[in-house]
Chain A
Amino acid sequence: MTSPQKIDPSNIGEQAQIKLPSWKTDAKPFVQIENITKKFDDFTAVDNISLDIYENELFCLLGGSGSGKSTLLRMLAGFEAPSSGRILIDGIDMAGIQPWNRPVNMMFQSYALFPHLTVNENIAFGLKREGIRGTEVKKRVAEMLDLVQLGHLGKRKPNQLSGGQRQRVALARSLIKRPKLLLLDEPLGALDKKLREETQFELINIQDELGVTFVVVTHDQEEAMTLATRIGVMNHGVIVQTDEPHEVYEYPNSRFVAEFVGSVNLFQGEVTTDEPDTVCVTSTEAGGVLCVNHGISCAPNQEVHVAVRPEKVRISEQRPDQPFNCIEGNILDIAYMGSLSVFKVKLPSGKEVRVTQPNINRESGGRFTWDDKVFLSWDMDSCVVLTS
């Protein structure tokens, strides 16, 4: 299924003045992953993945634990050899090229700072292995420390730094060799929430400034959404969907993606109307007819799921004037979260629906109370039909 908003590369001529991101043009991909499979004994960690990553991209591999995302990253770094398939970086086949000879650097989840070396020595490590000595090393280490705003901490040992500082040292160390491709394994995973949010934007700025291609592995969908130019959602060793964050969120191509990225309400039903620009689904679970305003490839009576995000659902006391995408239920639970309120609404079928409403004014969270009968409705372009 393709989303209707996708730009067809063949139309670029008409809108040449708009600079399109490279993955939408026919630019040559920088990293080419071709039919990569990795097996550990009987377990297939990565299952026949093909993926192109372009220059200056900030590509996120998003997936749960055991989805194979880290294994894929480690194959790019050269720590694991693929069981079959090949990886090309900048056009060069990486088969048989050892980690220390690859034009790639990696930032480790544990940071892997050398505990017996100072911050300066840690950052200089990569340069010294290239045979660079003396003032050149000093100059470039100082540059890197400035970039990550740690200029004053060069003489400390890693165990004298806070988690956030160690994260920056790790970043500086992995960037000092000016790699064309930087691999980041859960770069923000060990930071607390506030620091993580600040660091996200810093990472983007640094990536922008240096023009390095980033491949980030994360299990945190918010992190992926903020950072990425494109997201590859992984499950059981396969990339289920590759798209821009907006597309992945608004047009998930499967129930897995819809549920993994953000939260979602899924209603099972059967296709009753199948037209080029409208698809309607009758759902006993929802207790009504649900329609979307774009065509999908499906057959009448086919069993499908309609997905609608909690924030796209309106909640009202009066039945809204619309023939479809309108269901009723009773409020089961209310959670006041400050910026928004979360309502759990129980439908007559027993299905629970999650609705979030922004608290636009102070009292808007208190409009409803437990057991109130409410109507839930949404627009045709607010939901998607999922066939898998």
Chain B
Amino acid sequence: MKRRSLFLNMSAGFGFLFLYAPIIALIIYSFNASKLVTVWGGWSLKWYAELFKNDQIIDAALLSFKIAFITATLAVVLGTMAGFVLSRFGPFKGKMVLSGWISAPLVMPEVITGLSLLLLFVAMEGMFGWPAGRGTGTIIIAHTTFCMAYVAVIVQARLSSMDESLEEAAMDLGAKPSSLFFLITLPLISPAIISGWLLSFTLSLDDLVIASFVSGPGNSTLPMVIFSKVRLGVTPEVNALATLMILVVAIGVIGAMYQMRRQARLLAQPEN
């Protein structure tokens, strides 16, 4: 193997340190026996036990999972459609607007996304009475809006890198557009769709800002509950909860990466 310079080694070391040190500290402190967050009092699982006794947190967690699940599913359907239009429809009027809109949520400050959605929901309620009030439904709509942008980008990238002659070959062999989609295109982009779903799920689970804008009373998601608890002082319970969330998110991200790699392998052309 090539010898790496000291500079590269140090860069890698600092990178890992900055990224992972806070997370590792959090995980270690979640097993802290002490009541004080900052004082180490030996190993214990008691804050995990406390956590599962806390109905408020459990309810919020269930709500968050439900929202994340529905959001991911809706985002995958809409995002795949959007990705399809962008990569297969050819040039059309408004393509720039659509692709601009697709990348907007990726770079837009969440505060703005949240605020604009809140204003929209309020205006719509005033004009035709839907959505009546804010709650789970509005959070799902808001999350779907920004998650589908991620899905669209992933699917579009996959479709663009896919050999278009695969689809032409299927048509040439007698596949009509509908069977072409279900027999060839969908199986080939399915890893991208799965990774898009997992990404949407974790994004929705993570989101605090947008959910704070568009949720109603009694519909607090998990991040909102954690945030409100932290404002009253960090309890070791929150460390335990955060550790569990890191676990879920890590599984989602690793799953998404695995799907992308599987896709790459599937489409790889062997050397002659």
A binding-site residues for B, Cβ under 8 Å: 77, 79, 98-100, 104-106, 108-110, 112, 114-116, 125-126, 129-130, 159-164, 173-174, 177, 190-192
Query: Does B173 make an interface contact (CB < 8 A)?
Result: yes
Chain B residues, Cβ within 8 Å of A105: 172-173
Complex contact A191–B269 (CB within 8 A):
no
Nearest chain A CB to B239 CB, angstrom units? 44
Complex contact B174–A177 (CB within 8 A):
yes
Question: Do A99 and B172 form a contact, CB below 8 Å, given A161-B270, A162-B272, A191-B272?
Answer: yes
Query: Does B175 make an interface contact (CB < 8 A)?
Result: yes
Nearest chain B CB to A115 CB, angstrom units? 5
User: Which of B146-182 touch A at CB < 8 Å?
Assistant: 163, 165-166, 168-176, 179
Bound together, the chains give a CA A127 to CA B264 distance in angstroms of 29
Question: Do A177 and B168 form a contact, CB below 8 Å, given A159-B269, A161-B270?
Answer: no
Complex contact B174–A126 (CB within 8 A):
yes
Complex contact A77–B172 (CB within 8 A):
yes
Contact among A114, A130, A164 with B174 in the assembled complex (CB-CB below 8 Å):
A130
Complex contact A106–B174 (CB within 8 A):
no
Contact among A77, A112, A159, A191 with B270 in the assembled complex (CB-CB below 8 Å):
A159
Chain A residues, Cβ within 8 Å of B179: 129
Chain A residues, Cβ within 8 Å of B265: 159
Bound together, the chains give a CA A130 to CA B187 distance in angstroms of 21
Nearest chain B CB to A281 CB, angstrom units? 47
Complex contact B267–A115 (CB within 8 A):
yes
Complex contact B272–A100 (CB within 8 A):
no
Closest B residue to A126 by beta carbon equals B173
Closest B residue to A176 by beta carbon equals B173
Nearest chain A CB to B189 CB, angstrom units? 11
Complex contact A112–B163 (CB within 8 A):
yes
B binding-site residues for A, Cβ under 8 Å: 163, 165-166, 168-176, 179, 183-184, 187-188, 265-272
Report which residue of A110, A115, A126 has the largest number of chain B beta carbons within 10 angstroms of its beta carbon. A115
Bound together, the chains give a CA A77 to CA B168 distance in angstroms of 9
Question: Do A110 and B173 form a contact, CB below 8 Å, given A163-B272, A191-B272?
Answer: no
Report which residue of B172, B176, B179, B266 has the largest number of chain A beta carbons within 10 angstroms of its beta carbon. B172
6 contacting pairs across A/B (C-beta < 8 A):
A106-B168, A106-B169, A112-B165, A114-B188, A129-B174, A162-B270
Complex contact A129–B172 (CB within 8 A):
no
Complex contact B266–A110 (CB within 8 A):
no
Chain B residues, Cβ within 8 Å of A109: 165
Chain A residues, Cβ within 8 Å of B174: 100, 126, 129-130, 177
Chain A residues, Cβ within 8 Å of B173: 100, 105, 125-126, 129, 173-174, 177
Contact among A99, A159, A163, A192 with B171 in the assembled complex (CB-CB below 8 Å):
A99
Nearest chain A CB to B90 CB, angstrom units? 12
Complex contact B270–A125 (CB within 8 A):
no
Complex contact B172–A164 (CB within 8 A):
no
Bound together, the chains give a CA A192 to CA B272 distance in angstroms of 8
Nearest chain B CB to A184 CB, angstrom units? 12
Contact among B172, B176, B270 with A106 in the assembled complex (CB-CB below 8 Å):
B172
Nearest chain B CB to A25 CB, angstrom units? 31
Chain B residues, Cβ within 8 Å of A160: 270
Complex contact A110–B172 (CB within 8 A):
no
Bound together, the chains give a CA A115 to CA B185 distance in angstroms of 11
Chain A residues, Cβ within 8 Å of B176: 100, 129
Complex contact B269–A112 (CB within 8 A):
no
Question: Do A116 and B168 form a contact, CB below 8 Å, given A129-B179, A159-B269, A191-B272?
Answer: no
19 more A-B contacts (CB under 8 A) besides A112-B165, A114-B188, A163-B271?
A77-B172, A98-B171, A99-B171, A100-B172, A100-B174, A105-B173, A106-B172, A109-B165, A112-B168, A114-B169, A114-B170, A114-B184, A126-B174, A129-B175, A159-B266, A159-B269, A163-B270, A164-B272, A173-B169
